Amino acid sequence: MSVNDLLPLPEGKMLEFKRDLSSPKPILKTLVAFANTADGTLIIGRGDDGSIVGIENILADEERLASLIADCIAPAMMPDIEAVTIDAKSLLLIRVAHWPGPFYLKEKGAINGVFVRLGSTNRQADEATRQDIPSLLDAVADVPRFIARNTRLASKIESMQRRDIAEYPAIAVREVLINALAHADYGRSGMRIMVSIFYDRLEIQSPGALPFGMTLDDFRAGVSHVRNIVVSRVLHELGLMEQWGSGYQRIINACRQGGYPEPEWQELASCVRVIFRPHPDVPVNVPVNVPVADAALNERQQWFLEQLSVGRSVKAVDIEAQWGVVEKTAKRDISALKKMDLIVFVGAPKTGRYQLKDSQ
């Protein structure tokens, strides 16, 4: 939604207004709650009565807010901060994606400083809620491990030495994953970055089509259009992302050097999907030790197992939200996984969680 569409709306779970930056603590608490709960938008420059009061020194306040976020919130938060003009008055528009965390206010600490969104209010998270919010950096590390654990490995003897061949090119997959994190459209509610493993392919899908005016040919030519500047800068500073616009060529080079088929990019209506095919020396009819790659499972069940494998707490309601199915279908998917002895529910009915059977 545009700023003009948001301004008349009441505050809610994903929207809040502030008059100015004179009291930064409530603003920082809201940003933390948005990041821990759901996508959210904070607009600074609108009064409590709905009037547009504007910000007098927009550049100074934008810089001050960025510094406050960097100094007061942990781990590093990466919201999209934009200065906009409405009726000749300047406002700050802050969009916060729902990132794995938990995020917290440094002043209050990692226990008392975690907040979540409840309606239009910010509430301190209890212990169970904090445990349900995984770390972003842990997720970045866990996904490649998840892929390695759930895909096949072939061996080849060359010059009297054994060489192991992974089913998919680790370097290229890593580049695509980092690219998805940097360029996903986090403003799309209900959509997430997805990694799906099938018996004959691996797919990485990120929400949002290519930026307006950009084509797949532009992408292949090295043209870079950064959607999330702050996210990209942090990934670069962490050493996870190299020079902008160079990712495609590194992906292709990694595939060619390892003898892998080049991946296929698909631009769909609301997402970008990258498809990897197995190395020709890795037979697709060899089973793996984790059922995510089992063709007998539908995509919803594969997704559910994938979330559990990286430590996320998911239930039937999450399948409903992710895939747009009714409650009966979601519960049937989970029931089938339990009957196949792949998952188990641990704990009390209200506070317990599902786990992979072999992870207890």
Encode pLDDT of 229-269 as tens digits.
Answer: 666 766 776 677 766 656 788 899 999 998 999 999 998 87
Encode pLDDT of 16-56 as tens digits.
Answer: 999 999 999 999 999 999 988 877 899 999 998 889 999 99
CA angle 167, 168, 174 (to 5 degrees): 150
Alpha-carbon distances of 239 from 242, 317, 358, rounded to whole Å: 7, 36, 33
Q: Check pLDDT > 60 for residue 206.
A: yes
3-state SS assignment for residue 205: strand
Q: Does residue 114 contact residue 36 with C-beta atoms inside 8 Å?
A: yes
Residue 253 CB coordination number (10 Å): 13
Q: Check pLDDT > 50 for residue 293.
A: no
Categorize the per-residue pLDDT at 13 as very low, low, confident or very high, splitting at 50, 70 and 90: confident
Categorize the per-residue pLDDT at 295 as very low, low, confident or very high, splitting at 50, 70 and 90: very low
pLDDT of residue 23: 92
Weakest-pLDDT range from 129-138, 190-199, 342-351:
129-138
Could you tell me the two tokens for 281? 């020396």
Q: Does residue 115 contact residue 69 with C-beta atoms inside 8 Å?
A: no
Could you tell me the two tokens for 36? 């821990």
Tell me, yes or no, if the two domains 136-293 and 296-360 fold the same way. Answer: no
Q: How far apart are CA 13 and CA 182, in angstroms?
A: 25
Give the residue with greater pLDDT, 221 vs 27.
27
Weakest-pLDDT range from 2-11, 173-182, 255-264, 280-289:
280-289
CA 30 to chain centre: 20
Identify the DSSP state of 40. E
Q: Which residues pair with 157 in a beta bridge?
A: 162
Could you tell me the two tokens for 5? 């569409």
Q: Which residues contact 138 (CB under 8 A, 6 or more apart)?
A: 100, 310, 311
Reduced DSSP (H G I as helix, E B as strand, rest coil) percent helix, strand, coil of the chain, to 5: 35, 20, 40
**What are the helix (H) ranges across the chain?**
3-6, 24-37, 58-72, 109-112, 127-131, 136-149, 170-183, 216-220, 229-237, 247-258, 299-309, 316-323, 327-339
CA-based nearest residue to 301, from 331, 272, 321, 345: 331
Q: Which residues pair with 90 in a beta bridge?
A: 85
Q: How far apart are CA 325 and CA 317, in angstroms?
A: 9
Weakest-pLDDT range from 7-21, 217-231, 346-360:
217-231
Q: How far apart are CA 179 and CA 138, in angstroms?
A: 17
For domain 136-293, give the fold: Heat Shock Protein 90 (3.30.565)
* Nearest-10 crossing angle of helices 299-309, 136-149: 120
pLDDT of residue 273: 92
Q: How far apart are CA 237 and CA 241, in angstroms?
A: 8
pLDDT of residue 162: 59
For domain 296-360, give the fold: Arc Repressor Mutant, subunit A (1.10.10)
pLDDT of residue 232: 72
CA angle 151, 152, 157 (to 5 degrees): 150
Q: How far apart are CA 166 and CA 151, in angstroms?
A: 8
Encode pLDDT of 111-123 as tens digits.
Answer: 899 998 888 899 9
Residue that has been written with the tokens 């279908």 in this structure: 329
CA-based nearest residue to 66, from 233, 181, 238, 179: 233
CA-based nearest residue to 343, from 292, 299, 296, 295: 292
Weakest-pLDDT range from 1-10, 154-163, 186-195, 330-339:
154-163
Q: What is the rounded radius of gyration, in angstroms, for the C-alpha atoms of the chain?
A: 22
pLDDT of residue 288: 52
CA-based nearest residue to 312, from 169, 154, 139: 139
Encode pLDDT of 56-110 as tens digits.
Answer: 999 999 999 999 999 999 888 878 888 899 889 999 999 887 666 688 999 999 8
Q: How far apart are CA 25 and CA 30, in angstroms?
A: 9
pLDDT of residue 350: 82
3-131 maps to which CATH number? 3.30.950.30
Domain range annotation of the chain: 3-131, 136-293, 296-360
Name the pTM for this structure.
0.47
Q: Check pLDDT > 50 for residue 291.
A: no
pLDDT of residue 71: 93
Encode pLDDT of 128-185 as tens digits.
Answer: 667 655 555 566 677 887 788 778 777 665 655 656 788 899 889 988 988 888 878 7
CA 121 to chain centre: 24
